[in-house]
Amino acid sequence: MKHNLHFPLGTLLFATASVVLAIHPVIWLVRTWTDPSYGSFGFVFIGLAFLLVIASLVSGSSTEETRQGLSPIYILLTAGLIRLASQLFAINFLGGIALCLDIYAVLKLLNLNARPLPVSPFWIAGLIFLSLPIERLLQRFGGLFLQDASAAGACQTLGLYFHDLKCAGTLLTVRGHEVLVDLPCSGTAALMITLGSFVALCAIQRPRPITAISWLTFALTLSVFFNSIRISLLAFGIVYKSILPFDVMSEPAHGLIGLTTLGLSLLPLFLWFRPTPWHRASRWVKRPVSLNNKSQSILGACALCAAVAIVSAPRTAWDISGEVQPPFLPTALHSHSIETHPLSAKEQQYFEAFGGVARKASYGAMGVTIVRTTSPLRHLHSPQECLKGLGFDVTFKGTSTGSWPSSIYTATDTAGQWIVAVTFAANDGFVTANIAQVIWHWLKNPNLVWSSYQRITPHNFDPSQRHQLEASLMASLDVPMNPQSPQENRNETN
């Protein structure tokens, strides 16, 4: 008995093209979850998306045809164009966005909206988007705004109880105690959890666009508000440290305060977000593209050829540094002669590929690494990114706003524990310890030359000697000083 098999060649060719385009973005995405320098927990979001999709698929077959709106073919073509830009300009994040569109198209073909347990392909793709290293972008481009908003909210809250409160930007002074609202305490981690919770609920509830926008605004506002409450509680704990049986800046108290305020910010979302599922009006429905098998096969073959051409295109990073002069290092500091150190093979390859220069040296117990570039987005980052990638356990300790603003970290490896300080400066006199401020200043002044000055000393090194060596180094390098130079000992919330 003969059976006529209709082999979906066009569909297979389109699927193969999508796989070819997705290979590199998938590898990069998995690396962001496993590489300590990224510190990304995006696998949680993609795991949640996977569970929702599986639950919908096993709930039963689709009850009706709901493949409305933009055809998956157009979505795949758009993803291909974005993937081309990712390849040409060596921007991995764009490849991640293309991957989200690919998954969105596949989920539309699975008709998840019409199954007994319906979920929205659009919002599932949103969860995939959150699995990208979004928090790093939030810290770099939105961290400054979140810092200011959290500090302003904490200032208003603390002002209800302390009449001697002084607020100067992100620096709060309460009864002689200075509390600095630094980048880690800007609330980006809580914001990511809020976004993930909201997108997951939208995938299940499938709200109207205007409803989703309204609730998203409400959820983000609550997140920032309760982050201000968290900072206020930490400030209370710092002021009344002598009478409290615990230290609010140490675990588990610090973590419990953060979890409590985060839970309160999410409570309205989980209790009251019950929108009526949205069904598109007929005027918004577009008929899916209908092609015969021959046309589908031809388009599929063209898509596969285009995919191979895209991934074979040469990659040229857009953020390569221009030519810069190697940084100067003094021959001696406080009777300690300079001892230069070569860059590792990996570091040499990195600077050869993306421009910029770096020098490594040591003066006695103090190690120094200086990087110079015109592309701070590529070369300048916190020690949490580079040292974690080298196997260190890195913890942010706060910000010193003394003569030279510096972010302070502890780094631990098998050889011991170290104190790491880093300062960023531009050749127009701008100096900061905040990478978010670097990015915004660079966006307004794209032609500047930037330098990062990283100093590392043993944890048990004499603090006065550390201060003298660092001050001598920064002065000899003509690093701009903080004109206000306030006290260096602060209570930093994070």
| 1 inside domain | no
> Same domain, yes or no, for 209 and 303?
no
Banded pLDDT at 299 (limits 50, 70, 90): confident
When divided into structural domains, the chain yields a total of 3
Same domain, 148 and 109: no
The answer as to whether 377 is a domain residue is yes
d(CA 427, CA 374) in angstroms, rounded, equals: 10
pLDDT at 298: 82
Looking at residue 279, the DSSP 8-state letter turns out to be -
Res 100 pLDDT > 90: yes
The partner residues of 195 in beta bridges, in order of sequence, read none
Same-domain check for residues 293 and 251 = no
pLDDT at 186: 63
* One domain, residues 356 and 489: yes
Non-local (6+) Cβ contacts of 86 within 8 A are: 25, 92, 93, 94, 95, 97, 98
* The Cα angle at residue 380 between residues 374 and 381, in degrees rounded to 5: 165
Q: Find out whether 181 and 154 touch, Cβ atoms under 8 Å.
A: yes
CA distance 261 to 367: 40
pLDDT digits (tens, 9 = 90+) for 161-213: 888 888 877 778 888 787 777 756 667 888 999 999 999 999 999 999 999 99
Residue range of the domain that includes 80: 9-118+278-312
Q: Which two tokens stand for residue 262?
A: 């985060």
Q: Tokens representing 445?
A: 């002044």
- Are both 375 and 259 inside the same structural domain? no
pLDDT level of residue 4 (50, 70, 90 thresholds): very low
pLDDT score for 68: 56
Specify the CATH number for the domain of residue 430.
3.40.1000
Burial of 421 (0-12, 13-18, 19+ CB in 10 A): buried
Mean predicted confidence (pLDDT) in 287-300: 68
Sign of the CA dihedral 233, 237, 243, 244? Answer: positive
Q: Are 189 and 37 in contact (CB under 8 A)?
A: no
Q: Which tokens is 200 given?
A: 């997951």
pLDDT tens-digit map of 41-78: 889 999 999 999 999 999 888 766 555 556 777 788 88
Q: Is residue 424 part of a domain?
A: yes
Residue 323 domain flag: no
State pLDDT tens for residues 473-491: 999 998 888 755 444 444 5
pLDDT tens profile 359-386: 999 998 999 999 999 999 888 887 777 7
Residue 294 has pLDDT above 80, yes or no: no
For residues 246 and 211, membership in a common domain is answered with yes
pLDDT at 282 over 50: no
Residue 391 pLDDT > 80, yes or no?
Answer: no
Find which of 236-245, 268-277, 393-402 is predicted with most confidence, using mean pLDDT. 268-277
- For residue 293, pLDDT over 80 is answered with no
Among residues 303, 306, 287, the alpha carbon closest in space to that of 295 is found at: 303
Which residue type does 215 have? W
Residue 20 lies in a domain: yes
| Rounded Cα gap, residues 178 and 180, in angstroms | 6
pLDDT, greater one: 234 or 63: 234
Which comes out higher in pLDDT, residue 159 or 293? 159
My answer on whether 264 and 288 are in the same domain is no
pLDDT digits (tens, 9 = 90+) for 103-147: 998 888 888 888 889 999 999 999 999 999 988 888 778 777 888
Q: Is residue 124 part of a domain?
A: no
Does any domain span residue 320?
no
**Cα gap 430→399, rounded to integer Å:** 17
Peptide bond into 252 cis (omega under 30): yes
For the residues 302-316, what does the mean pLDDT come to? 87
Q: CA 467, CA 453: separation in Å to the nearest integer?
A: 14
In a domain, 400, yes or no: yes
- Can you count the helices (H) and strands (E) in the chain? 16, 13
| pLDDT for the residue 242 | 83
∠ CA(65), CA(97), CA(142), 5° rounding?
A: 125
- pLDDT for 395 equals 79
Beta bridge partners of residue 179, listed in sequence order:
172, 491
Same domain assignment for residues 352 and 478: yes
Instruction: State how far the Cα of 180 lies from the Cα of 205, in Å rounded to an integer.
Output: 40
Query: What separation in angstroms does the CA of 327 have from each of 320, 362, 368, 373, 387?
Result: 18, 14, 12, 10, 21
- The yes-or-no verdict on residue 343 having pLDDT over 70 is yes
Are 476 and 339 part of one and the same domain? yes
Mean local confidence (pLDDT), 208-233: 93
More confident residue, 391 or 263: 263
Q: Across residues 455-462, what is the average pLDDT?
A: 91
Q: What is the pLDDT of residue 240?
A: 87
347, 459: one domain? yes
| CA–CA gap between residue 353 and residue 317 (Å, rounded) | 9
**Tally of residues, the chain:** 494
- How far apart CA 346 and CA 86 sit, in angstroms, is 23
- Mean pLDDT, the chain, rounded, equals 84
Measured CA to CA, the distance from residue 455 to residue 360 in angstroms comes to: 10
Are 176 and 254 members of one domain?
Answer: yes
